[in-house]
Homo-oligomer: A and B are copies of this chain.
Amino acid sequence: MNTFGRIFRIHIFGESHGAGIGVCIDGCPAGIKIAEDDFVSDLARRRSGALGTTPRSESDEPKILSGIARGMATGSPIVVVFENQNIRSSDYADVSISPRPGHADYTSSRKYNGFNDLSGGGHFSGRITLGLVVAGVIAKKIIDPIKVEASVAEVGGLKDINAAVSAALAEQDSVGGIIEGRVSGCPIGLGEPFFDSVESMISHLLFSIPGVKAVEFGSGFAAARMRGSEHNDAIITAFGDTATNNAGGINGGISNGNEITFRLAVKPPSSIARPQQSYNFELCSVEEMRITGRHDACIALRIPVIAEAAAAIALADLNLIQLAGSIG
């Protein structure tokens, strides 16, 4: 469903080519300072523009409908909407007949019996993540002074990211990448095991971002090849600092005060200019398909700010839940 969280609750809505998309945020404590300008920086990081990102531009102007007055959260739900400028295009009319490989055309058409809005990817468009970024900005304010930062670690296996993107573009192709995230200043004690461990909450949100194929914390997949004597992080100070951080700042699903670290893999965008094979459900045969228009060659470049939002949203909720349990 389109809701996440227990106390800090976010509801995502919108379709790529509908009237607007946005987010409804419940549970933001009253008095948090929020101005429309606060969204500018993170929205800009998400927006296209860099090499390898789609040159199509939307203004991405957030409009606050409710929940903020005199520059502060009122305690009632915050709704922020982005109007779509290019509405109801019919460019996508035939994607249910010839589903684009790697896209949700086929699965969403079947799930919703053809009633879903396929234009521009509909509710499956990456554009939906605008709402996540907005919620992330507010979440970051709630968890302050905890800081969440994410960046691109590599693209196509290379640290030289421009080179990797250029190579892919030259071949009318796209390329994947890896994002690294770090949370500093997190107090000891966030996380609600058994089910709502820090990892469970963050991964739940990360895996809702279109294109994410893998998530790891701390040592991650490398842990599978390690010995316990090597993997165990020895506590070395009275503040709980550890000599190593294979745990990625989390033990038993609960933050341990050290930096929370995570990595995620983003697949190469599915829309490529090169001809591809696709099944035509009208002709009942495989045929060649060409996807026209301009698209991201490397969506991973736009993911860091969304990954930050995911982590911040999860931690904001866990933070508020932890407060609720602090009367014992």
Residues of B within 8 A of A75 (CB): 108, 111-112, 115-116, 123, 325, 328
Interface pair A213/B223, CB less than 8 Å apart:
yes
Q: Are B15 and A74 in touch, CB under 8 angstroms?
A: yes
Contact call A234/B101, Cβ cutoff below 8 A: yes
Which residues of B have CB within 8 Å of A251? Answer: 102-104, 106-107
CB-CB contacts of A13-34 with B at 8 A, as 1s and 0s?
1110011111010110111100
**Which residue from B12, B279, B323 sits with its C-beta under 8 Å from A77?**
B12
| A162 at interface, CB cutoff 8 A | no
In this assembly, does A53 line the interface, its C-beta being within 8 Å of a C-beta of chain B? no
Question: How far, in whole Å, are A227 and B194 apart by their CA atoms in the complex?
Answer: 38
Contacts of A270 in B (CB 8 A): 228, 231-232
Chain B CB within 8 A of A72 CB:
yes
A residues contacting the other copy or chain, number (CB 8 A): 156
Q: A7-B321, A176-B226, A213-B223 are in contact. Are A123 and B15 (CB under 8 A)?
A: no
Partner of A13, one of B20, B79, B228, B237: B79
A136 within 8 A of B: no
Flag whether A178 is at the interface (Cβ < 8 A).
yes
- Interchain CB contact (< 8 A) of A234 among B79, B240, B278: B278
List, in ascending order, chain B residues with CB within 8 A of A301's CB: none
B-chain residues with CB within 8 Å of residue A26 when the two chains form the complex: 1-3, 11
Q: Does chain B have a CB within 8 A of A260?
A: no
> In the assembled complex, how far is the CB of residue A84 from the closest CB belonging to chain B, in whole angstroms?
9
Contact of A116 with B30 in the complex, beta carbons under 8 Å: yes
Name A58-96 residues within 8 Å CB distance of B. Answer: 63-67, 69, 72-79, 81, 88
